[in-house]
Structure 1
Amino acid sequence: MPEHHTAPLLEVAGLHKHFPIRGGLLTRRTGAVRAVDGVDFSIEAGRSLGLVGESGCGKSTTGRLVARLLEPTGGAVRYRGEDIAHASRRELAPVRAEIQMIFQDPYSSLNPRQTVGTIVGAPLAIRRTGTASARRARVRELLATVGLNPEHYNRFPHEFSGGQRQRIGIARALALEPKLIVADEPVSALDVSIQAQIVNLLQQVQRDLGIAFLFIAHDLAIVRHFSHRVAVMYLGRIVELADRAELYGDPRHPYTKALLSAVPEPDLGTGDGEAQGRNRIRLSGDVPTPVDPPSGCRFRTRCPSAQAICGTTEPPLLPVPTATGQHLVACHFAEPLPAAA
């Protein structure tokens, strides 16, 4: 196992992204969508962090902020110790090659007018890497790496299935030998039979090339299979973050417990369609709007254990007693570690 005390490849601290709401004749700002509202996490080289939560919780926005496809409203995104949160286009140029993204939709993320060779080779051409013949050879090598026939070089995206298109997107992300890949729900648009193939491919790429991943998904089973650590996000904030085994084996936040209780499990002969011993937690109400999130704990409006303090004080993300001591929970009733004397 890699050492966990080494400096992280990526550190995110107090990350915010507020999208303004404008209205009226003068299009004045009338409010803001607080999509990401104070997020902290880190990823070590060669490791993976899974980011999970319901739709609209800010997962994809967080990924785009890390890849600097969006500029943060506030906070820091430190890559190799350098804050790139508000870096200029020129300052970002050396980093662009090392942070790549795999998009959710393998259909809209590929230009239908370009051949596979042009799409995968675009990063190499933009950076003028090698000669034209060297770039063509590199593209064919990448196609073979992701399980496609190098002879597909001159075909167009419409000639491929969804899983094959996603492999093309992965090959494009690998072209510049990145150190970090943001995978934004890379299998959610694919058939179930294809999802495992793509996840296994990404794991193989990680093992062979030592790439770190921010793996965004809403499917907790896939995240459990892929990620070393898992962060649970709710309404723009992380409410729990822990090693995979600890989070799935001993969840501490009520929201995490509810998400895990909703994961389908096989019926082991009970005959009632429920997994034996399953205690299903059904959340009431809808996710509040990020335009005006609840005071105090944002989950309190749906939490079965909410009390008075939850409405007045927002719980910080603090460590709780575990075997590793790296289990963080934002809950007033999650048994935080005692303060040092």
Structure 2
Amino acid sequence: MSGKDPLLDVTGLTKHFPVRGGFPVRRTVGAVRAVDGLDLTVAEGESLGLVGESGCGKSTTGRLITRLLEPTGGRITYAGQDITHASRRELAPVRSEIQMVFQDPYASLNPRHTVGKIVSGPMEINGIDPKGGRERRARELLELVGLNPEHYNRFPHEFSGGQRQRIGVARALAVSPRLIVADEPVSALDVSIQAQVVNLLQTLQRDLGIAFVFIAHDLAIVRHFSQRVAVMYLGRIVETADRDDLYGNPRHPYTRALLSAVPEATASHVPAAARERIRLTGDVPSPLDPPSGCRFRTRCWKATELCAVEVPALVRVGGNGVGHLTACHYPEVGRAMAAGAAA
């Protein structure tokens, strides 16, 4: 992490969803370990990218951070305050400081409310009375995100997908947040307008100093937006590093496999040694019954008996990046990749 003061500190975060079965009594017969011992930090004004395959727990992590879900275990500290199991009243002072931009820009907007009502609603709920009134502020926010302020009285169905997502961003900005969790904010949009929305978020992050947790599965978009990247696999972080260090010198086998799958047209920043296509065998294990030890071992070409009995810790394994952490017993040495990055 950078030298800035930490804004968000997550330690050992877990979320298990109970699975019920049996007849006639519905009893708990297992649990889906969606998030299972996750550690990450976000500095003030920093943008952190959270990447991984579908079903690895990225979106659940975002909802835990924003306290839309109650954690099963672990600790969430925001601005020095433990909010892990904070009550609704205890969360009230910080609720406005942590906002979320959802994946589906239509499902997250109330179709019966006008755009003005949607954007000004958070101000009303939090008792915020900006200078000039809430309507004026809402119009200013619409203009800030690239929409016409005159669209204040229109309804969500009158806008395109990209415009709806801009409305969602304006709503998040209405309460002047310090942290925004963006849950795959462009994955539901046409490719032609994805870059526009990402550039908008990047400009807001830079100009307003807002910290971002940017959740996505598109590695090219994450590299463009994020200063630091965390790679997630089956409920856990397996590698985290500065953007350039992670993309230029991946040390976890899973990270290397992900980067090898990036299309050639968008992989010019990835060294040739890292672009060698790696085809993983098997499917992602079920979070109902994850493998013992290292969760990636069932698909890893380096796995040994040690990987089956001992969970690898997320630690620094050397290299240029002080904050480059990897959870692997046999991390990539990175010589060829480091040479490619330096060329």
Q: Find the counterpart in structure 1 of residue 339 from structure 2.
A: none
Q: Find the counterpart in structure 1 of residue 281 from structure 2.
A: 284
Secondary structure of 2:15's partner? strand
TM-score by length of 2: 0.93
Shift of residue 212 of structure 1? 0.1
Q: Find the counterpart in structure 1 of residue 84 from structure 2.
A: 85
Shift of residue 334 of structure 1? 1.9
Across the aligned residues of Structure 1 and Structure 2, the Cα RMSD in angstroms comes to: 1.8
More divergent stretch after superposition (20-29 vs 8-17)? 20-29
CA–CA separation in structure 2 for the residues paired with 1:137 and 1:335: 54
1:186-335 equivalence runs, <5 A: 186-266=185-265, 278-334=275-331
Contact map agreement 1:140 1:153 (CA 8 A) in 2: yes
Identity of aligned residues (%): 70
CA–CA separation in structure 2 for the residues paired with 1:213 and 1:132: 27
Shift of residue 67 of structure 1? 0.3
Contact map agreement 2:16 2:72 (CA 8 A) in 1: yes
CA–CA separation in structure 2 for the residues paired with 1:266 and 1:208: 30
Contact map agreement 1:297 1:311 (CA 8 A) in 2: yes
Contact map agreement 2:253 2:332 (CA 8 A) in 1: no
Secondary structure of 1:266's partner? helix
Letter in 2 for 1:162: G
Shift of residue 267 of structure 1? 10
Secondary structure of 2:258's partner? helix
Letter in 2 for 1:53: G
Are 2:125 and 1:134 aligned?
A: no
CA–CA separation in structure 2 for the residues paired with 1:87 and 1:110: 27
CA–CA separation in structure 1 for the residues paired with 2:286 and 2:155: 41
Tell me the alpha carbon deviations over residues 7-63 of structure 1, each in whole angstroms, 9 at most, x when there is no partner: 300000000000011111221111100000000010001111100000000000000
Q: Which structure has more helix as a fraction of its residues?
A: 2
CA–CA separation in structure 2 for the residues paired with 1:276 and 1:331: 22
Q: Return structure 1 stretches of 4+ with deviation > 2 angstroms.
A: 3-7, 275-278
Secondary structure of 1:285's partner? coil
Tell me the alpha carbon deviations over residues 190-235 of structure 1, each in whole angstroms, 9 at most, x when there is no partner: 0011000000000110111100000000000000000010000000
Shift of residue 6 of structure 1? 3.5
Contact map agreement 2:220 2:266 (CA 8 A) in 1: no
Secondary structure of 1:43's partner? strand
Q: 1:116 to 1:251 in 2, by over 3 A?
A: same
Are 2:166 and 1:161 aligned?
A: no
CA–CA separation in structure 2 for the residues paired with 1:288 and 1:81: 36
Shift of residue 4 of structure 1? 2.5
Letter in 2 for 1:69: L
Q: Find the counterpart in structure 2 of residue 271 from structure 1.
A: none
Letter in 2 for 1:19: F
CA–CA separation in structure 2 for the residues paired with 1:234 and 1:155: 41
Q: 1:335 to 1:258 in 2, by over 3 A?
A: closer
Q: Find the counterpart in structure 1 of residue 337 from structure 2.
A: none
CA–CA separation in structure 2 for the residues paired with 1:152 and 1:4: 40
- Aligned length in residues: 328
More divergent stretch after superposition (259-268 vs 279-288)? 259-268
Shift of residue 116 of structure 1? 0.2
Give structure 1 stretches of 5+ with no counterpart: 269-274, 337-341
Shift of residue 315 of structure 1? 0.6
CA–CA separation in structure 1 for the residues paired with 2:265 and 2:87: 51
Contact map agreement 2:252 2:332 (CA 8 A) in 1: no
Give structure 2 stretches of 5+ with no counterpart: 334-343
More divergent stretch after superposition (157-166 vs 275-284)? 275-284
TM-score by length of 1: 0.93
Shift of residue 162 of structure 1? 0.2
Secondary structure of 1:183's partner? strand
Q: Find the counterpart in structure 1 of residue 103 from structure 2.
A: 104
